[in-house]
Amino acid sequence: MNYLFIFTIGPVQSFIENSRKARDMYAGSKLLSQLMEGAVRELQRGWNADVVFPLQMKEWPEKGQNSGSNMPNRLIAKFRDKDEETLKTIASSLEASVRGAFLSLCRKILQEVQIGETGLELSELQLKDFLEVYWMYEKYEDGDYAGAYQRLFSGINAVKGIRPFEQTGEPWGRSCILFPEYNAIFAKRNLSKSPSRFPHHVNQAYVYDITENQKMRYRVKPGEAMSAIALVKRMYPRPEADIYSIRLMLLKSRLGEDVVRDLDIQLSDGVSNALYDLANDVDASAEEYRENELCDAQKLYRCIKKQNIKLASYYALVKFDGDSMGETFIKEGTEAKQKELSKKIGNFAQAAPGILLRYGGLPVFAGGEDFFGFLPLDTLFNCMQELRTEFLKKVGLTFSAGIVIAHLMQPLKEVVAEADVLEKAAKRANGKNAFVLGVMKRSGERVHMPPYKMDRNISHTPCLADVAELTALLKDGSLSRSLFFNISRLLEPFRDSGKMPQTQMAELLIQGCVDSAALDFSQPERRKLMDDLMKFYGGEYGTEGFLNVLNAISFVAREVL
């Protein structure tokens, strides 16, 4: 008898995205990837399963080796000549193996940073039930593969909707800010205060003091309190070359290699964080930074002031997902076609991080058709267009993206939540293949552009390249930045009234602003500028949408080099 089998590991979104640092996100992504790699390896080698998804490598690495790839959180496999009891045994064994591997990985990480037995016991209470593991199998006759596949997905979605849980039984205590379902059981006292004390509301009878732990001295801030899940992510071992802080990403985008070489310094997370503290008049203390990092940061700070180098304060978080991938897999209909699509998705997942790195970005997760990463604003549009081209080339389909422009001081968890909102808005656009760009200003104002297409199309609706072109005109000084301000000032009363001027009237108003601001433009250049601006006017988004476009483009142009 033939069986289709699906196995998923979670929670993916909360485990990766509930983070204070980009490195924490990377850790969540890599840890789940390790678990799924182990699950695929066990099915193939232990139970002779025919894996349909994911197909990312010709050969899986030996146990204990890190492939460097990201994995999706689900696997689909086919079994022949098995009975139902055997399938249950396989599924139960695989679940036990994955849960055991998770506990073993977490325990090893905590032991390596010298957490004692008391801390390990407290951690295990939180870690043992953290994973959400779901599986299901579907029996089918030859010729009914497509029907079985559809029933399998409908069934697993129903099972996951139940979301069973167990009461933890933890005593009272401060909740972990990242995982509030658990207590903060690891805490670092603030030694700069007299007397030093634990963070507020920590249950001192139920906390493990990491204040004097030298392994964590520069990774956990004074006054920080964390659950076991959060600490495992923070202390997850990763090479500096693979992932670093958003501040370091932004610093590298603004500094030439000759500056670093001439100063004879070594850029690192510590140096970039200390530099930004100095630039923002924040005390860069020896409690948080090594002596050599403080010294290099001070050298660099003097240099950027002398050379008038502008440090970037805003970055882009990019999150995208392939359009209608579930429906596409179902429509493929046969195992061979699904495997071919799975292989294409895997090829893109392996290529995507390299694209981001070439543009000075930080890839966090590329698990198939899903992608999540950070970019400097200076390279945002070019990188997004290359990712879009590569996805079309390798997979033959489109994706939709949420792009958030956020300030460094904005809590990362809030920025990620905003990216989720924007990605969902893009996925609701007609025909998809869309993006929504939003700006979270330091002042608290939030601006959302309407959904627009990722690339040019026959309907000549606005696309990413149009946004990039207008941004470039403002950025390089070809166009006065007063243009967008003047247009907004003229149209603002219409937004307040809730009415929208007819296109012909709006065009006359905008044309007058263009003629005043684009004095150095030739007549054809002015006409093209008018055409580009009017693309964004009208339609279902009205004056509000148009003004948001002008606001967002003006802001991005001001922040890029």
Amino acid 499: pLDDT: 73
pLDDT band at 304 (very low <50, low <70, confident <90, very high): very high
pLDDT band at 56 (very low <50, low <70, confident <90, very high): low
Amino acid 61: pLDDT: 38
Q: How far apart are CA 425 and CA 421, in angstroms?
A: 6
Percent of the chain surpassing pLDDT 70: 95
- Of 179, 171, 200, 73, the C-alpha closest to 129 is 179
Amino acid at 452: Y
Amino acid at 55: L
Average pLDDT over residues 545-558: 94
Amino acid 498: pLDDT: 67
Average pLDDT over residues 446-467: 88
Least confident stretch, 14-23, 399-408, 452-461: 452-461
Amino acid 244: pLDDT: 79
Average pLDDT over residues 84-98: 94
Instruction: Please name every residue paired with 440 in a beta bridge, in sequence order, or none if there are none.
Output: 406, 446
pLDDT band at 58 (very low <50, low <70, confident <90, very high): very low
- Of 182, 130, 138, 129, the C-alpha closest to 159 is 138
Secondary structure of residue 150 in the 3-state scheme = helix
pLDDT band at 241 (very low <50, low <70, confident <90, very high): low
| Main-chain phi, psi angles of 332, to 5 degrees | -60, -40
Amino acid 266: pLDDT: 87
Residue-wise pLDDT tens digits, 325-360: 888 888 888 888 998 998 899 889 889 999 999 999
pTM beyond 0.85: yes
Considering only residues 375 and 456, tell me which one the structure prediction assigns the higher pLDDT. Answer: 375
DSSP-assigned letter for residue 443: T
Amino acid 390: pLDDT: 95
Position of tokens 């139940």?
162
- On whether the CB atoms of residues 254 and 312 are closer than 8 A, the answer is yes
Amino acid 535: pLDDT: 87
Radius of gyration of the chain measured on its C-alpha atoms: 26
Amino acid 63: pLDDT: 39
Is the pLDDT at 105 greater than 90? The verdict is: yes
Amino acid 494: pLDDT: 81
Is the pLDDT at 67 greater than 50? The verdict is: no
pLDDT band at 239 (very low <50, low <70, confident <90, very high): low
Helix-helix angle 228-235:117-127, to 10 degrees = 110
Q: How far apart are CA 156 and CA 134, in angstroms?
A: 8
- On whether the CB atoms of residues 223 and 199 are closer than 8 A, the answer is yes
- Of 8, 40, 42, the C-alpha closest to 134 is 8
Average pLDDT over residues 207-216: 93
Residue-wise pLDDT tens digits, 146-156: 888 889 988 98
- Of 343, 344, 364, the C-alpha closest to 353 is 364
Is the pLDDT at 459 greater than 90? The verdict is: no
Is the pLDDT at 242 greater than 80? The verdict is: no
Position of tokens 């009272």?
172
Q: How buried is residue 24: exposed, middle or buried, by Cβ count under 10 Å (0-12/13-18/19+)? A: buried
pLDDT band at 59 (very low <50, low <70, confident <90, very high): very low
Q: How far apart are CA 500 and CA 494, in angstroms?
A: 6
- Of 96, 85, 105, 84, the C-alpha closest to 33 is 105
Q: What b/e sequence results for 478-500 when a residue is b if at least 16 CB atoms lie within 10 Å of its CB, and e otherwise?
A: ebbeebbebbbeebeebbeeeeb
Is the pLDDT at 138 greater than 70? The verdict is: yes
Q: How buried is residue 351: exposed, middle or buried, by Cβ count under 10 Å (0-12/13-18/19+)? A: middle
Secondary structure of residue 276 in the 3-state scheme = helix
Residue-wise pLDDT tens digits, 494-533: 877 767 788 888 889 999 999 888 878 889 999 999 988 9
Average pLDDT over residues 139-145: 87
Tokens of 522: 């030739």
- On whether the CB atoms of residues 39 and 97 are closer than 8 A, the answer is yes
Tokens of 49: 């399963």
Q: How far apart are CA 513 and CA 275, in angstroms?
A: 41
| Main-chain phi, psi angles of 310, to 5 degrees | -90, 120
Amino acid 60: pLDDT: 35
Residue-wise pLDDT tens digits, 164-202: 777 777 888 899 989 998 999 999 988 777 667 788 888
Going from the C-alpha of 333 to that of each of 56, 152, 202, 287, 363, the distances in angstroms are 20, 13, 55, 60, 33
The mean predicted confidence, pLDDT, of the chain is 88
- On whether the CB atoms of residues 426 and 434 are closer than 8 A, the answer is yes
Is the pLDDT at 62 greater than 50? The verdict is: no
- On whether the CB atoms of residues 28 and 9 are closer than 8 A, the answer is no
| Helix, strand, coil percent values for the chain (each to nearest 5) | 50, 15, 35
Amino acid 65: pLDDT: 36
- On whether the CB atoms of residues 222 and 287 are closer than 8 A, the answer is yes
- On whether the CB atoms of residues 97 and 38 are closer than 8 A, the answer is yes
In sequence order, what are the residues at sequence separation of 6 or more whose Cβ sits closer than 8 angstroms to the Cβ of residue 175? 181, 182, 183, 184
Q: How far apart are CA 428 and CA 451, in angstroms?
A: 9
Average pLDDT over residues 383-391: 96
Amino acid 332: pLDDT: 85
Secondary structure of residue 318 in the 3-state scheme = strand
- On whether the CB atoms of residues 356 and 390 are closer than 8 A, the answer is no
Tokens of 18: 């509930």
Residue-wise pLDDT tens digits, 479-492: 888 899 999 999 88
Query: Would you mind telling me the total number of residues written for the chain in this entry?
Result: 561
Amino acid 561: pLDDT: 74
Average pLDDT over residues 407-417: 93
Helix-helix angle 503-517:482-497, to 10 degrees = 160
